[in-house]
C-alpha cells in the first residue's frame, strides 16, 4: 500500500488558506479515484483507502494542526502495510519558495522551513520520502510569511486553482503509480499558461 498525506490545518476558518493546499490536493485525489475520506481516530484526521490506477493507496489529512503533522503520519505508517517509505509515502504541502501554482516533485531532502514537514521528518527519523510541493509564492509587500500562508488565496488565484489542483492530482498519481523519477520528469515544469480571455 502507498500513502499520500496532504498537510493543512483543521477547521473551516483555514479551509481556503494557502497553508491548506495539501488538504485540497488530497480531497481532489479522493474524488478522482472514488475514495471516501472519513474521520479516523487512530490517525487523528481524515482517512480513506482504495485504488488509484490499480494501485492500493491510502489518503490522509492530519487534523493534529500543521506543526504536529508527524503524529498522525507516524500512526498511519505504523498501522498500515506501507512498503518502503522512500517510494511509498508522498507528502503534499504548500511552498513559499515556488511561484503560485508551480509543482515540484522531489525524492527527499530538507524541510525548507516548513514546520509540518519538519515534524514528519523528526518523528519518522528520516527525510528520504517523496514530496510534492505546491507553490503559493511569497508576499510582494511586508506581510509576514506566517500570516501570508494563513490568508485565503487572492480571487484570481482561487479562480485558477481548479486546473492547478488537477495538475497536482495527476503529479501525485504519477508519483504513486509510475515512480518518482517519471513524476519529476513529467510534472516539474511550469504550468501551462491560462487560455486567452474572451
Q: Which positions are catalytic?
A: 19
Sorted by sequence, the CB contacts under 8 Å of residue 86 that are 6+ apart come out as: 107, 108, 128, 129, 130
Gap between the Cα atoms of 180 and 161, Å rounded: 24
The three-class DSSP label of residue 22 is helix
- CA neighbor of 160 nearest in space, from 21, 30, 13, 5: 21
CB neighbours of 47 closer than 8 A, spacing ≥ 6?
37, 38, 39, 40, 58, 59, 60, 61, 76
Of the candidates 124, 74, 130, 129, the residue with the CA atom closest to the CA atom of residue 103: 130
d(CA 15, CA 8): 8
User: Helices (DSSP H) in 33-154: which residue ranges?
Assistant: 69-79, 85-88, 115-124, 145-149
Q: Which of 96, 142, 101, 137 is nearest to 116 (CA)?
A: 96
Cα-only R_g, the chain: 16
Cell of 159: 479562480
Amino acid at each position: 500500500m502507498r500513502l499520500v498525506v496532504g498537510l493543512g490545518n483543521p477547521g473551516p476558518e483555514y479551509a481556503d488558506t494557502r497553508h491548506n493546499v495539501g488538504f485540497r490536493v488530497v480531497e481532489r485525489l479522493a474524488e478522482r479515484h472514488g475514495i471516501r475520506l472519513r474521520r479516523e481516530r487512530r490517525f487523528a484526521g481524515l482517512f480513506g483507502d482504495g485504488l488509484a490506477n490499480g494501485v492500493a493507496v491510502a489518503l490522509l489529512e492530519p487534523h493534529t494542526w500543521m506543526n504536529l503533522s508527524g503524529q498522525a503520519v507516524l500512526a498511519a505508517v505504523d498501522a498500515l502495510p506501507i512498503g518502503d517509505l522512500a517510494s511509498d509515502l508522498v507528502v503534499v504541502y504548500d511552498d513559499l519558495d515556488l511561484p503560485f501554482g508551480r509543482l515540484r516533485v522531489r525524492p527527499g531532502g530538507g524541510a525548507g522551513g516548513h514546520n509540518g514537514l519538519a515534524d514528519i521528518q523528526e518523528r519518522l527519523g528520516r527525510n528520504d520520502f517523496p514530496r510534492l510541493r505546491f507553490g503559493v509564492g511569497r508576499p510582494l509587500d511586508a506581510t509576514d510569511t506566517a500570516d501570508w500562508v494563513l490568508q485565503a488565496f487572492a480571487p484570481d488565484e482561487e479562480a485558477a486553482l481548479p486546473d492547478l489542483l488537477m495538475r497536482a492530482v495527476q503529479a501525485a498519481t504519477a508519483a504513486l503509480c509510475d515512480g518518482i523519477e517519471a513524476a519529476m520528469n513529467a510534472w516539474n515544469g511550469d504550468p501551462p499558461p491560462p487560455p486567452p480571455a474572451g
